[in-house]
Amino acid sequence: MTERRRPRLAVWKFASCDGCQLSLLDCEDEFLALADAIQIANFPEASSAVEDGPYDLSLVEGSITTAHDAERIRKVRQQSRHLITIGACATAGGIQALRNFADVNDFIAAVYASPQYIKALATSTPISAHVTVDFELHGCPINKEQLIEVISAFLAGRKPAIAAHSVCVECKRCGTVCVMVQGTPCLGPVTHAGCGAICPSYRRGCYGCYGPMETPNTAALAREWRMLGAAPRDIRRAFRTFNAAAEPFLKESQAHGN
Amino acid sequence: MATKTIRVDYLARVEGEGALDLHVNDGRVTTAQLNIFEPPRFFEAFLRGRGYAETPDIVARICGICPIAYQMSAVHAIESAFGVKVDGQLRALRRLIYCGEWIESHALHVVMLHAPDFLGFPDAIQMARDHGDAVRNGLALKKAGNEVMRVLGGREIHPVNVKVGGFHRVPSSAELVPLGENLKRAHDLATDLVRWVATFPFPEFEQNYEFVALRHPDEYPFNEGRLVSNRDIDIDIADYETEFEERHVAHSTALHSVVKRRGAYLVGPLARYALNFDRLPASVQTLARETGLGPECNNPFQSIIVRALEIVYACQEALRLIAAYEPPDVASMRVTPRVGTGFGCTEAPRGICWHRYDFDAEGTIREARIVPPTSQNQPSIEADLKAVATSILDQSDDIIRARCEQSIRNYDPCISCSAHFLRLSVHRT
Name residues whose C-beta falls within 8 Å of residue A62's C-beta, 6 or more positions apart in sequence: A12, A13, A14, A15, A16, A69, A87, A89, A90, A94
Quote the percentage of chain A above a pLDDT of 70: 95
Alpha carbon of B24 to those of A62, A99, B29, B126, B399: distances in Å? 35, 41, 4, 33, 15
Residue B420's pLDDT band (cuts 50, 70, 90): very low
Do the beta carbons of residue A166 and residue A190 sit within 8 Å?
Answer: yes
**Position A129 confidence tier, pLDDT thresholds 50, 70, 90:** very high
CA dist., res. B369 & res. A106, Å (int): 18
Alpha carbon distance B405, B120 (integer Å): 13
Question: Which residues of A are less than 8 Å from B43 in CB distance?
Answer: 95
Most A-contacting residue of B13, B17, B42 (CB-CB within 10 A), to test interface:
B42
Least confident of A45-59, B197-211, B299-313, B415-429: B415-429
Confidence band for B14, pLDDT divided at 50, 70 and 90: confident
**In the prediction, which pLDDT does B10 show?**
74
Q: What residues in A contact B256, CB-CB < 8 Å? A: none
Q: State which residue of chain B sits closest to A117, comparing Cα positions.
A: B250
pLDDT at B6: 73
Average pLDDT over residues A119-139: 95
Banded model confidence at residue B416, pLDDT cuts 50, 70, 90: low
Tens digits of per-residue pLDDT, B251-299? 776 778 899 999 999 999 999 999 999 999 999 999 999 999 999 999 9
* Residue A258: predicted pLDDT: 75
Between A119 and B135, the more confident residue is: B135
Answer left, alpha or beta for residue B165, where phi above 0 means left and psi between -120 and 50 means alpha: left
- What is the C-alpha to C-alpha distance for residues A54 and B73, in angstroms, rounded to an integer? 43
Chain A partners within 8 Å of B15 (Cβ): 18, 22, 45
3-class secondary structure, B377: helix
Does residue B426 register a pLDDT over 70? no
| Residue B400: per-residue pLDDT | 86
Given an 8 Å threshold on Cβ–Cβ distance, is A65 in contact with B39?
yes
> Which tens digit of pLDDT belongs to each residue from B347-360?
999 999 999 999 99
| B-chain residues near A99 (CB < 8 A) | 42, 45-46
Query: Which one of A28, A142, A199 makes the best mutation probe of the B interface by having the most chain B beta carbons within 10 Å?
Result: A28
User: Mean pLDDT for chain B?
Assistant: 92
Q: Between the CA of residue A88 and those of A21, B108, B222, B290, what are the distances in Å?
A: 12, 24, 30, 47
- Rounded to a whole number, what is the largest CA-CA distance in chain B? 73
Residue B424 has pLDDT above 50, yes or no: no
- How many Cβ atoms are within 10 Å of B190's Cβ, its own excluded? 29
Would you call B142 an interface residue with chain A, using a CB distance cutoff of 8 Å?
Answer: yes
Instruction: Calculate how close chain A gets to B58, using CA atoms only, in Å.
Output: 8
pLDDT digits (tens, 9 = 90+) for A64-105: 999 999 999 999 999 999 999 999 999 999 999 999 998 777
Please tell me the distance from the alpha carbon of residue B337 to that of residue B329, in angstroms, as a whole number.
23
Are B123 and A45 a contacting pair at CB < 8 A? no
Q: Do A95 and B61 touch (CB under 8 A)?
A: yes
Residue A18 and residue B12: Cβ atoms within 8 Å?
Answer: no
CA angle B268, B139, B96 (to 5 degrees): 55
Asked if A120's CB is within 8 angstroms of B156's CB, the reply is no
ipTM of the complex: 0.96
Inter-residue contact A205 to B171 (CB < 8 Å): no
Tell me which H or E stretch contains A247: helix A247-254
What average pLDDT does this structure show over A167-171? 97
pLDDT tens for A211-236 read 999 999 999 999 999 999 999 999 99
- Quick one: average pLDDT of B230-241? 97
Q: pLDDT band for position B419 (50/70/90)? A: low
A145-159: b (≥16 Cβ within 10 Å) or e = ebbeebbebbbeeee
For residue A245, count other CB atoms closer than 10 A to its CB.
28
Residues of A in contact with B10 (CB under 8 A): 44, 50
pLDDT at A49 over 60: yes
Q: In sequence order, what are the beta bridge partners of B247?
A: B256
Q: Domain boundaries in chain B?
A: 3-36, 43-418
CATH of B43-418, one of 1.50.10.10, 3.30.70.1290, 1.10.1840.10, 1.10.645.10: 1.10.645.10
User: What pLDDT is stored for residue A120 in this prediction?
Assistant: 83
Domains (ranges, CATH) in chain A?
8-156 (3.40.50.700), 167-254 (no CATH)
Q: What are the residues whose beta carbons fall under 8 Å from the beta carbon of A3, sequence distance 6 or more? A: none
The confidence score (pLDDT) of residue B422 equals 35
Interface contact flag, B123 A207, Cβ < 8 Å: no
Judge residue B99's burial from the number of C-beta atoms within 10 Å of its C-beta, 0-12 exposed, 13-18 middle, 19 or more buried.
buried
Angstrom distance (rounded) from CA B150 to CA B152: 6
pLDDT of residue A117: 67
Instruction: Provide the pLDDT confidence category of residue B397 given band limits of 50, 70 and 90.
Output: confident
The residue of chain B with its CA nearest to that of A36 is B125
Tell me, yes or no, if B39 comes closer than 8 A to chain A by beta carbon: yes
Identify how many contiguous H helices and E strands chain A contains and give both numbers: 11, 5
Q: Do B46 and A102 touch (CB under 8 A)?
A: yes
Q: Give DSSP secondary structure letters for B385-423.
A: HHHHHHHTTTS-HHHHHHHHHHHHHTT--BHHHHTT---
Q: Which of B26, B39, B32, B27 is nearest to B8 (CA)?
A: B32
**Per-residue pLDDT at B79 exceeds 70:** yes
Confidence of residue B421 (pLDDT cuts 50, 70, 90): very low
Sorting pLDDT into bands at 50, 70 and 90, what band is B11?
confident
- Give the list of residues 6+ apart from residue A176 with CB closer than 8 angstroms, or none: A197, A200, A201
Adjacent-strand bridge partners of B29? B24
CB pairs under 8 A between A and B: 184
Query: Looking at residue A109, what is its pLDDT?
Result: 67
pLDDT digits (tens, 9 = 90+) for B147-199: 999 999 999 999 999 999 999 999 999 999 999 999 999 999 999 999 999 99
Laid out side by side, the sheet with A8-13 consists of A39-42, A8-13, A55-61, A80-86, A135-137
Nearest chain A residue to B138 by CA distance is A28
- Would you call A111 and B42 a contact, using CB atoms and an 8 Å cutoff? yes
Nearest chain B alpha carbon to A26: B143
Nearest to A138 by CA among A184, A71, A65, A194: A194
Q: Is B157 within 8 Å of chain A by CB?
A: yes
pLDDT in tens, A29-46: 888 888 889 999 999 889
Taking residues B228-234, report their average pLDDT.
Answer: 97
Residue B393's pLDDT band, with cuts at 50, 70 and 90, is confident
In this predicted structure, what is the pLDDT of residue A123? Answer: 93
The enclosing H or E element of A230 equals none
Is residue A223 exposed (0-12), middle (13-18) or buried (19+ Cβ within 10 Å)? Answer: exposed
pLDDT of residue B2: 67
User: How would residue B428 be classed by pLDDT, with cut points 50, 70 and 90?
Assistant: very low
Tell me the average pLDDT of chain A. 93
What's the pTM value of the predicted model, to 2 decimals? 0.95
Given a cut of 50, whether residue B425 has pLDDT beyond it is no
Contact between chains at A140 and B61 (C-beta distance less than 8 A): yes
B120 touches chain A (CB under 8 A): no
Percentage with pLDDT > 70 across chain B: 96
